[in-house]
């Protein structure tokens, strides 16, 4: 089946209550699209219904509950008759040095940031495949390429998220389904709020280091989240969307420098690496 026209797309968005999810859900509705907006608590997005009426479907969804994911996806599809764009946006960050976090905290982070999006992908794939089209978007981060200390586990979840979506893109191309990884830099969203940050029990050995880290973070220039929808719309409206797109002006210079450094290190150690190949046939 041919793709629907550029106007009047149907979106399924996880994590619509705040941050980018909220900004993008509202922007899509304002341009006349239809949105299945999901959040862990329905009351956090109930006002969208008052504002946009039948163009929005409000669904309760905790992405770590696979049964709830399947039900929400099916409800959205039944309600609107199709799904054009699936936006995997729910996630949170764990504030912890690598030594501090316990296994349960790391597991919980991965359940939301990695296994949750996978559950959404698995639930929508039969629908998109039957349609013969669809566009899966995943909200990653510039931290899917580079890392920061103190939120290393969050960065690692985004590296995993990136790899999953990159493999997915190759696998589903044959069905006419597109995949794009959205990579925002630092923005003035509620992502820094208590709801989006979980703090592990701290160790005294890292106290001063973490204070210094947060001091530097507070001084970081942040983008305006309300400036982002146009970039998102350009991605979903184009015939050949990119696999990855940065949001913000700081990501490319930082990532470029990081990769140059990595390449320089690999090059410097190339003789050692090549010798390790051996002569086995």
Residues noted as catalytic: 140, 154, 158
Contacts of 216 (CB under 8 A, 6+ apart): none
| Residue 175, beta-bridge partner list | none
The token duo for 11 is 């979106």
Residue 219, classed as helix, strand or coil, is coil
**Alpha carbon of residue 242 to chain centroid:** 15
Provide the sign of the torsion angle of the four alpha carbons 264, 266, 271, 272, taken in this order: positive
Whole-number Å distance between alpha carbons of 269 and 264: 9
Per-residue b or e along 249-260, where b marks 16 or more CB atoms closer than 10 Å to that residue's CB:
eebeeebeeeee
């Amino acid at each position: 089946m041919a793709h629907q026209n550029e106007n009047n797309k149907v979106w399924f968005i996880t994590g619509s209550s705040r941050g980018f999810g909220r900004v993008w859900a509202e922007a899509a509705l304002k341009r006349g699209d239809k949105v299945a907006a999901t959040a862990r608590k329905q009351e956090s997005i109930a006002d969208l219904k008052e504002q946009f009426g039948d163009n929005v479907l409000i669904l309760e969804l905790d992405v770590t509950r696979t049964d709830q994911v399947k039900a929400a996806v099916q409800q959205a599809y039944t309600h609107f008759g199709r799904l054009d764009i699936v936006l995997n946006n729910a996630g949170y960050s764990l504030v912890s040095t690598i030594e501090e976090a316990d296994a349960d905290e790391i597991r919980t982070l991965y359940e939301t940031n990695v296994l949750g999006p996978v559950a959404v992908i698995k639930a929508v794939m039969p629908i998109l495949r039957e349609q013969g089209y669809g566009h899966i978007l995943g909200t990653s981060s510039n931290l899917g390429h580079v890392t920061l200390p103190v939120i290393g586990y969050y960065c690692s979840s985004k590296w995993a998220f990136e790899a999953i979506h990159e493999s997915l893109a190759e696998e589903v191309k044959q069905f006419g389904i597109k995949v794009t990884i959205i990579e925002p830099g630092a923005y003035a969203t509620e992502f820094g709020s208590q709801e989006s940050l979980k703090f592990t029990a701290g160790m005294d050995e890292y106290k001063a280091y973490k204070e210094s880290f947060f001091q530097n973070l507070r001084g970081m220039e942040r983008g305006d989240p309300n400036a982002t929808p146009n970039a998102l719309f350009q991605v979903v409206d184009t015939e050949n969307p990119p696999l990855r797109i940065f949001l913000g002006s700081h990501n490319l210079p930082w990532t470029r420098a990081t990769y140059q450094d990595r390449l320089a290190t690999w090059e410097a150690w190339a003789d050692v690496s090549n010798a390790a190949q051996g002569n086995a046939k």
